[in-house]
Structure 1
Amino acid sequence: MRFPRFLQRHTVLVEPFLGNSSTGSVYGPAVEVRGLLEQKTRLVRNAAGEQVTSSSTLRAPLETAAPAKSRVKLPDGRTTVVIAAVRQDGAGLPVPNHLEVQLQ
């Protein structure tokens, strides 16, 4: 089941992390992403398996490109960084498939 449009209440700008260069981090062009933003502090694990604090979670369509270390500009103007992006696939159950993007 696709992520329903009526749940896509918030719009953020995502600059996907492409890698590092000799001058620092490299990002792709900013892409507007619609999703459901929950601003709630919780502990999550980063790519290295360490526990870190997440201040917000964005639930977006599965095709969203938001790898770890991507920059995200929230509706309030604050810029944050992706800790991890986790696919939530209902495996045929009647629940919406989505990408859970955990933000610093």
Structure 2
Amino acid sequence: MKLPGWLLRHTVTIEPYEGDGAYGPVWGEPAAARALVAETVKHVRDTTGDIVVSTAQVYAGPDLVCPVGSRVILPDGRITRALTVAHHTAPGLPAPESTEVYCE
């Protein structure tokens, strides 16, 4: 079961992080995605284990492609970066599958 569409009230644009090139970070083609955005301040651990501050959380369907480091353009136009990405699944249970992205 996917996250219900009626909960996804916002549209975000994701530019997936593809690695570093000769001139710095490389991002893929931008793709719009329906999501629910919560702009709250939270402390989270990044991929290195450091505690960092997240100022926006994006909740989307399980098929969202957003590797850590991706650029995320929020509904208000603010450009941020994905700090952590969590895929929530529950095979066989009546719980919705989703992707949760914590942004700078």
Identify the TM-score tier after normalising by the shorter chain.
over 0.9
Write the letter of the residue equivalent to 2:14.
V
TM-score scaled by structure 1?
0.96
Partner of 2:74: 74
Runs of 4+ in 1 over 6 A off after TM superposition: none
TM-score scaled by structure 2?
0.96
Q: Taking every aligned residue pair, what percent have the same amino acid on both sides?
A: 36
| C-alpha RMSD of the superposition | 0.9
Q: Matched residues in 2 for 1:46 and 1:29: separation?
A: 24
How far off its partner does 1:80 sit?
0.3
Aligned length: 104
User: Secondary structure in 2 aligned to 1:75?
Assistant: coil
Partner of 1:49: 49
User: Secondary structure in 2 aligned to 1:68?
Assistant: coil
User: Secondary structure in 2 aligned to 1:6?
Assistant: helix
How far off its partner does 1:92 sit?
2.8
Structure 2 unmatched runs, 5+: none
How far off its partner does 1:58 sit?
0.5
Partner of 1:59: 59
Partner of 1:19: 19
User: Secondary structure in 1 aligned to 2:6?
Assistant: helix
Partner of 1:32: 32
How far off its partner does 1:14 sit?
0.4
Deviations 1:44-79 (A, max 9, x none): 110111110000110111111101110011111110
Write the letter of the residue equivalent to 1:102.
Y
Partner of 2:89: 89
User: Secondary structure in 2 aligned to 1:81?
Assistant: strand
